[in-house]
Amino acid sequence: MTIKVLAFAGSPRRNGNSETLLDWVLASMAEDPDVSVQKVPLTEANINICRGCNACEKLNMCIQRDGMDIWHDKIIEADCILLSSPIYCMGIAALPKALIDRAQVFRSRKYVLKLPVVPPERKGKRLGVFLASAGQDWSNVFDAAIPSVKCFYHVIDIRDGDISYLMINHVDEKGAIERHPTAKADATRLGKTVIAELKRRLAA
Amino acid sequence: MVVTVLGISGSPHRHGNTETLLDSFLDGTRSAGASVEKVVLKDLTYTPCRGCNACHKTGECVVKDDAIALFEKILAVDCIAVASPIYTMGITAELKGLIDRGQYLWARKFILKTLYFSDDHIRRHKGLFISTAGQNWDHVFDGAFPAITAIFNGTGFEYYDNIIANSMDEFKGIKNHPTALKAAYAKGIEVVGVIEKLKAR
């Protein structure tokens, strides 16, 4: 059994706090020999923004030819999809928002065309993980990001209850997360928990 | 003194519901005597914030593109109307891309302390958020407000009001909405009147 893990690193800053958090989770997951991990930095993913043309409601595909041609298929194939983003101006950064908006094709498939996103037997066997970092120390700093994240997972057939969150505030400068008292341990534990849960569900 | 109004259309879809609602607001301000300009983000060239934090030291963005010229324009007007449809429970990536680029102003305000808006300045500068959503949920706009608050705070505008209309899917477009376009027009007249009074003091 190979468990396919697909991870989108959403920060425009490479190897910053949110990506470090992602790397910790992925390293913990990859310790399991059954896990195959693909990490996609969105800075290199070639994803244009959604044009709002609604053509996908008729065509069941996007009219734009770009990196999403690849990521679309990978999103369907994956058992676990992770997304990491820093919080900028109280929301997710523009790069991951572009990815999320391009998931409109899945929404059209699901709700307009009434076609399956994943085969019925894979429903409930996919898990999502959202990781975020924020410079602000406000406890509400992640609130506006979550509805968009839930939408993203919802349209790719990952249920609300199957999304795990690890969001660390009060880390701003590059490397600040390394000094956080619990982030690394929490990320490591999260990786293990998600893979254990996936194995349980895939075996069922 | 003539009230200056800048409309910013953040939709990738030209002349759709949100831009039509923005146009109605701008027509209202024009009818009240304002000098009006509309910028369509789709026509500009700018990249997302790189998160390099160089502006924290210099107060300047290392990326020189249309975003900087637009922020200069925003800082020069009395009223801004920022418009975006709701995509997946938030503003568009296009508008979020612009808002994030305002980090250099945040750095000037809070780190370098070279930019300061007095309470009086903020009171005289009004920002409005204009949006439409296909969904009929009341909370569909909630994810947008914090980022809009951020751009208004960063550029010295009071968050004056929202002009928002949901259920576009059910109405089959803003033109069939019973009140939204008229309300936006009236809001345009109202805000110009308010700013004129404040400027005359």
Type of residue found at B189: I
So what's the pLDDT on residue A204? 86
| Packed helices A94-102 and B93-100: angle between N→C axes, nearest 10 degrees | 180
Q: Does B113 touch chain A (CB under 8 A)?
A: no
Type of residue found at B60: E
Q: Does B35 touch chain A (CB under 8 A)?
A: no
Distance, in Å, from the CA atom of A160 to the CA atom of B84, rounded to the nearest integer, reads 26
So what's the pLDDT on residue A92? 97
With beta carbons less than 8 A apart as the criterion, state whether A104 and B93 touch: no
DSSP B14: T
The chain-wide mean pLDDT, for chain B, equals 97
B103 CB neighbours in chain A (<8 A) are 88-89
So what's the pLDDT on residue A199? 97
End-to-end CA distance of chain A: 13
Mean pLDDT of B9-23: 97
Placement of tokens 């200056």 in the chain: B4
Distance, in Å, from the CA atom of B98 to the CA atom of A53, rounded to the nearest integer, reads 21
Placement of tokens 């309300």 in the chain: B183
pLDDT at residue B32 greater than cutoff 90: yes
Please choose, from the candidates B125, B130, B127, the residue with its C-alpha nearest in 3D space to the C-alpha of residue B23.
Answer: B130
Domain of A51, CATH number, reads: 3.40.50.360
Chain A residues interacting with chain B (CB cutoff of 8 angstroms):
11-13, 16, 49-53, 86, 88-95, 97-98, 100-101, 103-104, 107, 143-148, 150-152, 173-174
pLDDT at residue B1 greater than cutoff 90: no
So what's the pLDDT on residue B201? 81
- Phi and psi of A201, rounded to 5°? -70, -40
% residues pLDDT > 90 (chain B): 98
Distance, in Å, from the CA atom of A29 to the CA atom of A131, rounded to the nearest integer, reads 15
Domain around A159: 3-203
% residues pLDDT > 70 (chain B): 100
Q: Give contacts of B 42-61 with A, CB under 8 A.
A: 48-53
So what's the pLDDT on residue B58? 97
- Phi and psi of A134, rounded to 5°? -145, 145
SS3 B18: helix
β-pairing verdict for A80-88 and B158-165: unpaired
Q: Do B49 and A143 touch (CB under 8 A)?
A: no
Please choose, from the candidates B189, B193, B104, B192, the residue with its C-alpha nearest in 3D space to the C-alpha of residue B155.
Answer: B104
Mean pLDDT of B83-111: 97
How far B50 CA lies from chain A's nearest CA (Å)? 5
Three-state secondary structure of chain A: CCEEEEEEECCCCCCCHHHHHHHHHHHHHHCCCCEEEEEEEHHHCCCCCCCCCCCHHHHCCCCCCCCHHHHHHHHHHCCEEEEEEEEECCEECHHHHHHHHHCHHHHHHHHHCCCCCCCHHHCCCCEEEEEEECCCCCCCCCCCHHHHHHHHHHHCCCCHHHEEEEEECCCCCCCHHHHCCCHHHHHHHHHHHHHHHHHHHHHC
So what's the pLDDT on residue B79? 98
Q: Do B100 and A49 touch (CB under 8 A)?
A: no
Mean pLDDT of B76-104: 97
β-pairing verdict for A127-133 and A91-92: unpaired
How far A133 CA lies from chain B's nearest CA (Å)? 12
Of B90, B97, B100, the CB nearest to A147: B90
Report the number of distinct structural domains present in chain A: 1
B153 CB neighbours in chain A (<8 A) are none
B150 CB neighbours in chain A (<8 A) are 89-90
Q: Do A173 and B53 touch (CB under 8 A)?
A: yes
Tens digits of pLDDT across chain A (204 residues): 899 999 999 999 999 999 999 999 999 999 999 999 999 999 999 999 999 999 999 999 999 999 999 999 999 999 999 999 999 999 999 999 999 999 999 999 999 999 999 999 999 999 999 999 999 999 899 999 999 999 999 999 999 999 999 999 999 888 999 999 999 999 999 999 999 999 999 998
Q: Do A91 and B94 touch (CB under 8 A)?
A: no
SS3 B153: helix
How far A29 CA lies from chain B's nearest CA (Å)? 28
Q: How many CB pairs under 8 A join A and B?
A: 113
pLDDT in tens, B104-145: 999 999 999 999 999 999 999 999 999 999 999 989 999 999
Q: Does B14 touch chain A (CB under 8 A)?
A: no
Mean pLDDT of B39-67: 96
So what's the pLDDT on residue A23? 98
Please choose, from the candidates B142, B140, B145, the residue with its C-alpha nearest in 3D space to the C-alpha of residue B129.
Answer: B145
β-pairing verdict for A35-41 and A3-9: parallel
